[in-house]
Amino acid sequence: MNRMTSYIRRQIAGPMIFFTLMLTGVMLVGQSLRTVDLIVNKGLSLQTLLELTALLIPGALSMILPVSLFCAVMFAFYRLWQDSELIVMSASGFSVWKMVRPALELATIVTLISLALNVYVTPLGLRSFRSEVAEIRGDLAAVFLQDGQFTEPVSGVTVYVRERTRSGELHGILVYDARRPDRAVTMMAERGALLSEGEGTKVLLVNGNRQESELFTGKGTYLSFERYVLDLGGFGGPSDTRWLKPGERFITELLPPFDNPRDEEASANLITEAHKRLSSPLYAFPLALIAACGLLSGEYSRRGKYMRSAIAGVLGLGLRLAELGIAGLVTSNGAFAPLLYLVPLAGAVVALFVLKPPVRRTAAPPEIVAGAA
C-alpha cells in the first residue's frame, strides 16, 4: 500500500512541477511588461531585467501553487483512470481515502510554502523590486551606460552619448531640451561628466555650443562655451520616503495601529491584505479535493467522469474567483473578514462529503427472508 501511495504521489508531483513552471513563466512575462519603459527609455540591461524579474517570483508562486496543484491532481487521476489503474486499485481494496492521501500531503506542503511566501518572502521581494525600479528611474548613470542610443532621462530632455569610458567620462554629447513650451535648446559638447554634487542631476559639458530657438517667433541664439553645467533637476525620489503599498508590507505593518495619516486612509485595504495573506494558502486543500472529486467520486463510467471533471473545473475556478469577491466585501466592511477563512474550509468539507464512498446494502440471506415470511 505504501508503494501505491508513493506511486500516486509521484504521478501528482511531476505534473505539478510542470504546471508551476509553465504558469510562473506566463505570469512573469506579463509582470515584466511593466519594466518595458526601463528597457526602451533607460537602456536597462538584460541582466538587471532578469534580477528584477526574479524578485517577482515569490509573489507569483504564492498565487500559482494552489492552482498548479489543482491541475496536477486532476491530470494525474485522469491519467490513472484512463489507463484503468484506478479500477485496479479499487478492486484490490485501495480505498478512496488512500488515493486522496497523496493529494492532501502535497496540499499541506503547498499551504506551508504559500504561507511562508505570503508572510515574509513575497513582501520582501516586491519591496526590493519597487525600490530597485525607483532607483533605476532616478539614476541617470544607468541612462548613459548604453553608448550610441537616444534616451530620455526626464520628460522633455533627450540625450545622446557617443561613448562612455570606464572612468565615467562622456564623449560626443548631444542634448535636446524641450521642457519649456515656448522654446527649445540644443547643446553639443566634445566631452563631459556627471556631477553628483548638490540636489538634482547635473551634467558638465566641455568644449561645446548651445543653440536656443523660440518656437513662436523663430528667433534664436548661439553660444559657444568651454564649460557648461546642465541642470536636469531632481527626479526619482529616494526610496525611504516612498509610501509602501499593501503588497510590499509585512504582516505586522498591515495591522493597526498605524503611524501616519495615509496609512489611516488606506487602513481597510491594509487589513484586507493581511487577511488575504493568511487565508489564501488554505485554498490548496479544497482545490485538491475538488479536483479529486471529479474522478474519484461516483461510478467508474466514462460519461459520468467527463461530466464530473468538467463540474470540478468550474467549481475550482469559481472558488478562486470567490476569494476576489470576498476580498472586495472585506474592504468595504471588515465584518466579512471571517468569510475569507470559512469559504475554503467549507469547500474542503463539502468535497470530503462528496468523496465519501456510498454505503453498500447487502441483500438479506434467504433463510432470514423465508423466516420472516
CA dihedral 311, 349, 281, 274 (to 10 degrees): 110
Average pLDDT, integer, range 267-272: 91
* The pLDDT value given to residue 240: 45
3-state SS, residue 184 = strand
pLDDT digits (tens, 9 = 90+) for 53-108: 888 899 889 999 999 999 999 999 989 888 888 888 888 888 888 899 999 999 99
Q: Which three cell numbers stand for residue 242?
A: 516612498
Q: What is the pLDDT of residue 11?
A: 93
pLDDT, position 29: 79
Condensed to tens digits (0 to 9), the pLDDT of residues 191-208 reads 988 776 555 567 889 999
The answer to whether the CB of 69 falls within 8 A of the CB of 16 is yes
What pLDDT, on the 0 to 100 scale, is given for residue 237? 42
Whether residue 257 is preceded by a cis peptide bond, meaning omega within 30 degrees of 0, is: yes
Instruction: List pLDDT tens digits, range 274-297.
Output: 999 999 999 999 999 999 988 887
When comparing pLDDT for 361 and 263, which is higher?
263
Of 24, 29, 12, 105, nearest to 62 (Cα)?
A: 24
- The per-residue pLDDT of the chain, averaged, comes to 82
Looking at residue 139, its pLDDT comes to 61
Helices (H), 139-266: 141-144, 251-254, 261-265
- Mean of pLDDT values over 239-260: 82
Mean of the pLDDT values across residues 207-214?
A: 90
pLDDT at 342: 95
What percentage of the chain has pLDDT greater than the value 90? 33
Residue with cell 498605524: 258
Query: 252 in helix, strand or coil?
Result: helix
255 neighbors 272 (Cβ within 8 angstroms): no
The confidence score (pLDDT) of residue 238 equals: 43
Q: What is the pLDDT of residue 178?
A: 85
Q: Is the overall model pTM greater than 0.95, yes or no?
A: no
Place of cell 508590507: 249
Q: Under a CB-based contact definition with an 8 Å cutoff, are residues 292 and 73 in contact?
A: yes
| pLDDT attached to residue 324 | 85
Contacts with 30 (C-beta within 8 Å, 6 or more apart), sequence order = none
- Using one digit for the tens of pLDDT, what is the confidence trace for 112-146? 999 999 999 999 999 988 887 767 665 655 555 56
Question: Sign of the C-alpha dihedral, residues 153, 154, 160, 161?
Answer: negative
pLDDT tens for residues 151-175?
A: 777 777 888 888 888 777 889 999 8
Residue 348 scores a pLDDT above 90: yes
pLDDT given at position 278? 93
The pLDDT tens digits of the residues spanning 23-64 come to 998 887 777 666 666 666 555 677 777 888 888 899 889 999
The total number of residues shown for the chain amounts to 373
- pLDDT for 194 equals 78
More reliable by pLDDT, 299 or 363:
299
pLDDT of residue 41: 55
Confidence of residue 16 (pLDDT cuts 50, 70, 90): very high
Residue 190 confidence (pLDDT): 93
